Structure 1
């Protein structure tokens, strides 16, 4: 009987070690894949305007602050280029500052998140807003927002831009970056996710400089 117990112990110990290793590898694998999972879930939720799920994956206070800084920088660079002795530059600056608040308010929403994740960042234009939710298809499938330049605003004979080229990857242990570019030489921008716990990630910032 004692020999049988010892044999079971010898057999059971390697099995237990193997199970522990499998669990550890599985946890590490899911931890590594977790930002990709969060990105996919957020895209689906934003496209379908599932507000509750979008709220789970977006840090709105951090995103608003980032949008404010990025749009301010965008307008500042634009005014610097346009200044060159232009007496209307001061007026343009005041108008630009007035645009920042409404633009940030418009993009720190599920509609704005959908635009950011579909290659349509804010451009700092007067009255700019993210595209409205698309009409639901007859078959019930989720439709993605139109590409920038498509729809009624593109009725000028120009070819609508193609979907952006997208790359995604870690930029540090706690930061995951999704970069968008519509073509070679075009300006890139990035959506930045930050870790919130071991497996949770939230969209927290944008980088309009790429």
Structure 2
């Protein structure tokens, strides 16, 4: 006895609906996880100085613009804290000449590696990104949360004091925030922005968290 074609169609309909639901959930899950994946991929590529992969995950023009604004703001805040007007004027002139070289130094794979390892620019003359750990020499990240990048700080900081967190700030913005207490307090964030549904790129730095 053969089953009518209509009955077969009715029987397969729930299976089709189930498969569609599973596919939608999988797409949404991947879309939600995509910035975390981009962060991990960029972190590994930057530590390995894989320039081609770093270029895929960094919007360098946007990052350069952000660095210019942030470093200028950093120097302005530093000068505002100086009550000596003459020194402040000299400092402002020096600061202008510092911004370009600092931006050039940090808008590079070395700079990205430093930023993702908790080492932002401090605005010092002649500053270059501190040497971040290479991927194959990086210490184990057992103490870090899955969402945070594996980071090794400089030798003057106490690793136990540093906290790193990552998460959405909006539908199209994802931030990794670095906090370190003690005398050399550091609070800043690396900001990723969405391009399309699944693509995220490092596009800004906020040095005034």
TM-score w.r.t. the length of structure 2 is 0.87
Distance 1:146 1:170, change over 3 A: closer
Per the alignment, residue 162 of structure 1 pairs with 159
**Are the aligned partners of 1:187 and 1:209 in contact in 2 as well (CA < 8 Å)?**
no
Specify the alignment match of 1:143 in structure 2: 138
- Cα distance change on mapping 1:37 and 1:109 into 2, 3 Å: same
Q: List per-residue Cα deviations over 1:19-60 (Å, max 9, x = no partner).
A: 000000000000001000000000000011111100000000
Could you say which residue in structure 2 is the equivalent of 1:107? 106
Q: Deviations over 1:60-90 (max 9, x none)?
A: 00000000000000000100101x1342221
Find the aligned partners of 1:131 and 1:96 in 2 and give their Cα distance: 20
Q: Deviations over 1:155-184 (max 9, x none)?
A: xxxx54316311111111100011000127
Q: CA 1:59–1:135 in structure 2 vs 1: closer, same or farther (change >3 Å)?
A: closer
The answer to whether the Cα contact below 8 Å between 1:99 and 1:124 also exists between their aligned partners in 2 is: yes
Could you tell me how far apart the structure 2 residues matched to 1:79 and 1:166 are?
Answer: 29
Alpha-carbon separation, structure 2, partners of 1:135 and 1:61 = 25
Tell me the distance in 2 between the aligned counterparts of 1:135 and 1:42.
13
Correspondence list, 1:114-125, <5 A? 114-125=113-124
2:190–2:205 CA contact under 8 A, matched in 1: yes
Question: SS state of the match for residue 205, structure 2?
Answer: strand
Aligned to 2:144: none
Pairing 1:41-56 to 2, within 5 Å after superposition: 41-56=41-56
Aligned length: 196
Give ranges in structure 1 of 5+ residues lacking alignment.
Answer: 151-158
Distance 1:85 1:132, change over 3 A: closer
Which 5+ residue runs of structure 2 have no aligned equivalent?
A: 140-150
What is the TM-score of this pair, normalised by structure 1? 0.86
Tell me which stretches of 4 or more aligned residues in structure 1 moved more than 4 Å.
Answer: 133-136
Question: How far has the Cα of 1:135 moved from its partner?
Answer: 6.6
| 1:167 aligned counterpart, secondary structure | strand
Over the aligned positions, Cα root-mean-square deviation in angstroms equals: 2.0
